[in-house]
Amino acid sequence: MKEKIIALIEAALEVPAGTITEDTMIADVEQWDSLAHVMIIGELEEKLGIVIPLEEAVELTGVQDLLQQCSV
């Protein structure tokens, strides 16, 4: 599941495979702005059935936080 989530993030951000890791912070990726963040959350819900409440989504700072919210 972790690999699917990371692949989904990479696709949403349109970055090459292998660019995003568990240790990637949102601030480290130029393409990961607020709009991209919303798109990633939406893709997680649509493609993987993972629901992250908005108030929790805005608190995420990196992939590790996102994976924890997804209970991976």
Please tell me the predicted confidence (pLDDT) of residue 72: 59
Please tell me the predicted confidence (pLDDT) of residue 6: 97
From CA 44, how far away is CA 12, in angstroms rounded? Answer: 10
Please tell me the predicted confidence (pLDDT) of residue 37: 95
Please tell me the predicted confidence (pLDDT) of residue 46: 95
- Model confidence at 70, pLDDT cuts 50, 70, 90, reads confident
Tokens for 35? 């709009």
Tokens for 51? 């629901």
Structure-derived torsion over alpha carbons of residues 43, 11, 59, 52, reported in degrees to the nearest 10:
20
Please tell me the predicted confidence (pLDDT) of residue 51: 92
| Digit-coded pLDDT (tens) for 20-62 | 999 999 999 999 999 999 999 999 999 999 999 989 999 999 9
Please tell me the predicted confidence (pLDDT) of residue 10: 97
